[in-house]
Amino acid sequence: MRERITQMIVKEFIQTLRDRRRWMLLFGAPIIQLFLFGYVVTTDVNNISTALYDLDRSQESRELARRLEASGYFNVRYAPQSPGEIRDLIDRGEVLCAIQINRNFAKDLKRRIPTEIQVIVDGTDSNTAMVALSYVTKVIAKYAWEYAVNTVGTVLSPPDFRTRVWYNPDLKSRNYNVPGVIASIIMITCIMLTSMAIVREREVGTMEQLMVTPIRPVELMLGKTIPFAIIGLLDMFMVTVAGVLWFGITIKGSLLLLLMGTSVYLLSILGIGLFISTILKTQQQSLLATMFFNMPAMLLSGFMFPIENMPVIFQYITYLNPLRYFLVIIRGIFLKGNGFVVLWPQMAALFVLGTVIITISSFRFRKRLG
């Protein structure tokens, strides 16, 4: 049995690697994706193009403007002279944020009358808008607090909030996203490879030739999937090294645990590829089906959109998604240095999921051969 499987694996490697264009698909595409995703998938918001309409022109209003600039988030590029000008700037997309300081800003502060600061944000990009609002609030709150402390000796002193950020102190989204990108790329590549390789054999007609050899269905299946498991691990290694070296991400946890996690992850990924191949006839169909699976799987995994913000039904659906579990594993190992103690539930879930899918598809695989 071992002999036959080895032969099968050798044949598969020869077939896959013979075509130079396939090398591109196996190793070039993941790297291109890593760079594209790595650079583009960022939710950092800096240099918010801002217009400041200062009607007060007092020391206090200038101080607020200075603080906005000094925060590093805002780039005050325009000083409009009328509300109409603000409207125009936002309409044309020149600025994302407009801040209007009213005429009596300093006077009101001195007389301790609540003074309004108008903040207008272009909400087209809801996420950037939310982050911009969050920054504005932070800057104003800090200024208000310091102004109060410096000018009024208070009887009842308001508390000082000290915020500390753990695991990713600079709040760089790249540290969070690159591990996620690695996990997604492995899924995209491996499902497509497995499903198309098996379907191609059927489409071209060589499947019949294999069936007349003494090879048994289980051996055939193992021989078909093991090469892709190896390629998957290679891809994982390559993309991880590239991600760590190029993007300067550090891995805080154990590499051995990462290897373990990747192995159980590949189990379920290859199972899905195998399953797709058992229901479809042509390469075109299997390609479309792969895309059909990958898109929702990436969206409903916590890769870009936190799971806890989804409606409950969709949260349940995510439990069927291998990417969901692997993201927790890979991010935990990269960012937090989590050990097996923390990550075992995810590993167990992937193992169970993988075993179930592999079993179902091997039954279907045998039926289609018989």
Partner 1 sequence: MRFLRIKAIAKKELIQIWRDPLSLIIALLMPVIQLFIYGYAITFDVNNITTVVYDQDKSSLSRELVAQFKESGYFTLVAYVDNYDDIDAYLDSNRARVAITIPYDFSKKMRTGNPAHVEVIIDGSDSNTATIAEGYVAAISLRYAQRITTRTVLPVMDPRTRVWFNPELKSRNFIIPGLIAVIMSVVVALLTSLTVAREWERGTMEQLISTPVKPSELIIGKLAPYFAIGFMDMVLAVLVGVTLFGVPLRGDIVLLVVLSSVFLFGTVSFGVLISIIAKRSQSVASQIAILSTMLPAFLLSGFLFAISNMPKPLQVITYIFPARYFVTILKGVFLKGSTLTLLWKEGIMLAMAGAIVFFLAIRKLHKRID
Footprint on residues 205-244 left by partner 1 (CB under 8 A)? none
Query: Other C-beta atoms within 10 Å of 315: how many?
Result: 14
Interface with partner 1 by CB under 8 A: which range of 51-59, 208-216, 281-289, 349-357? 281-289
The single residue among 7, 16, 263, 283 that binds partner 1, judged by CB under 8 A, is 283
Distance CA 38, CA 248 (A): 11
Min. distance of Cβ 211 from partner 1 in angstroms? 23
For partner 1, which is the closer residue by CB, 154 or 214? 154
Distance CA 171, CA 21 (A): 40
Is residue 25 a contact residue for partner 1 (CB under 8 A)? yes
Query: Other C-beta atoms within 10 Å of 203: how many?
Result: 17
For partner 1, which is the closer residue by CB, 181 or 358? 181
For partner 1, which is the closer residue by CB, 148 or 215? 148
Distance CA 345, CA 289 (A): 29
Is residue 32 a contact residue for partner 1 (CB under 8 A)? yes
Is residue 351 a contact residue for partner 1 (CB under 8 A)? no
Applying the rule CB under 8 A, the residues between 62 and 121 that interact with partner 1 are 90-92, 108-110, 112-121
The single residue among 1, 171, 218, 241 that binds partner 1, judged by CB under 8 A, is 171
Copy the structure tokens of residue 288: 């479309």
For partner 1, which is the closer residue by CB, 229 or 298? 298
Min. distance of Cβ 245 from partner 1 in angstroms? 17
For partner 1, which is the closer residue by CB, 231 or 358? 231
Q: Which residues contact 265 (CB under 8 A, 6 or more apart)?
A: 183, 186, 322, 325, 326, 329, 350, 354
Give how far the C-alpha of residue 173 lies from the chain's centroid of Cα atoms, to the nearest Å. 9
3-state DSSP assignment of residue 222:
helix
3-state DSSP assignment of residue 282:
coil
